[in-house]
Amino acid sequence: MTKRRLRNIKESALKAFFFANGIIAILVLLGIFALLFFSAVPAFREIRLKEFFTSITWDPTSPVKAEYGILSMIVSTLLVTIGALVIALPIGLGVAAYLSDVAHWRVREIVKPIVEILAGIPSVVIGFLGIVLFSPFIAKVFGRSNGLNAINGSLLLAVMALPTIISISEDSLNAVPPAYSEASLALGGSRWQTLIRVKIPAALSGIIAAVMLGMGRAIGETMTVLMATGNARAFPHGLLDSVRTMTSNIAIELGEVPYYTPHYYALFAIGLVLFIMTFCVNLVADIFLKKYQEREL
């Protein structure tokens, strides 16, 4: 009888232990959002919300009048991100379709880990390659004095988004029920027609999820864009302009800003905007991911 009681105590203790760990982990993670929020709020005692989001001038250290508009940075971030997706989506989807529908399974077994190597390269190394490899190339092609601009960042972010897009798109193409493609083939469709008109539309929710995840990663990527896009503060007018994204701006200024000044809080406000943007993008990705996983079952 005592043995059983001892065992029960041990069970409850273990359960409590795991419960405590779960709670701590969750509290810590939710605490991130709360702390970030409360560090960003003081910024808006000095800065009007409207100015923050609609002004294109960011000049917090101006001796005349400090200005805190982040519109240029938001546009720069979106410009670089969308550029990256425009490059990465067709290529990534192409690779995914090749792996799922054309390639021999042995090729797939070899290629998948290789693509994972690409995902494992640290972002600072990718940024370095942007400086030493892509920048001279872009400078030559477009006849510029240097190649540190938005297109460079887009190319690098495309490389970084590719592994995500390839692996999730391939999974979702493989998850299309065989009956779909069998029906199409039986009706006389070629394998290409089946792929384009049946399988890709059927796998669409997974593909959208892949793109959204790639987008979330591109928006939040810091080192690559910091090193490769030139970091000019001006409002960007095209892919050949030097741009400063939200992430780069935080990285550049956080090291020098005096603590507890409006400028300091404003950097946290940018961080909060970033957090919310990526959270929303990831949430949408999650919804689409759920959609195709549910169908799979």
Partner 1 sequence: MRHRLMKKKNVIQFFGFFALRGCLYLVLAVLLLFLYDIGKKGGGAVSWEFLTKAPRKGMTEGGIFPAIFGTFLVTLITAIMAIPLGTFAAIYLNEYARQTRLTRLIRLSIRNLSGVPSIVYGLFGVILFVNIFKFGTSLLSAGLTLGLMTLPWTITAGEEALKTVPNSYREGALALGATKWQSIRTNVLPYALPGMLTGTVLGLARAAGETAPIMFTGAAFSLPFLPKSLKDQFMALPYHLYVMATQHHDILKARPLAYGTALVLIVFVLGINMAAIILRYRLRRKRR
**Interface residues for partner 1 in 276-295 (CB under 8 A)?**
278-279, 281-283, 285-286
Q: Per rule CB under 8 A, is residue 216 in the interface with partner 1?
A: yes
- Helix (H) and strand (E) counts in the chain: 15, 2
Stretch in the footprint of partner 1 (CB under 8 A) among 47-55, 62-70, 126-134, 172-180:
126-134
Q: Per rule CB under 8 A, is residue 90 in the interface with partner 1?
A: yes
Torsion sign, CA atoms 123, 125, 128, 134: negative
Q: 71, 78, 91, 139: which one contacts partner 1 (CB under 8 A)? A: 91
By CB atoms closer than 10 A (0-12, 13-18, 19+), residue 140 is exposed
Q: Per rule CB under 8 A, is residue 32 in the interface with partner 1?
A: yes
Q: Pick the closer one to partner 1 by CB: 131 or 175.
A: 131
Q: How far is the CB of 266 from partner 1 (least distance, A)?
A: 12
Q: Per rule CB under 8 A, is residue 137 in the interface with partner 1?
A: no
Q: Per rule CB under 8 A, is residue 6 in the interface with partner 1?
A: no
The span from the CA of 196 to the CA of 32, in Å, is 43
Q: How far is the CB of 276 from partner 1 (least distance, A)?
A: 10
- Kindly report the number of other CB atoms within 10 A of residue 70's CB atom: 24
Q: Per rule CB under 8 A, is residue 235 in the interface with partner 1?
A: no
Q: Per rule CB under 8 A, is residue 125 in the interface with partner 1?
A: yes
- In terms of residues, how long is the chain? 297
103 phi/psi in degrees, rounded to 5: -70, 150
Contact predicate 175/206, CB 8 Å: yes
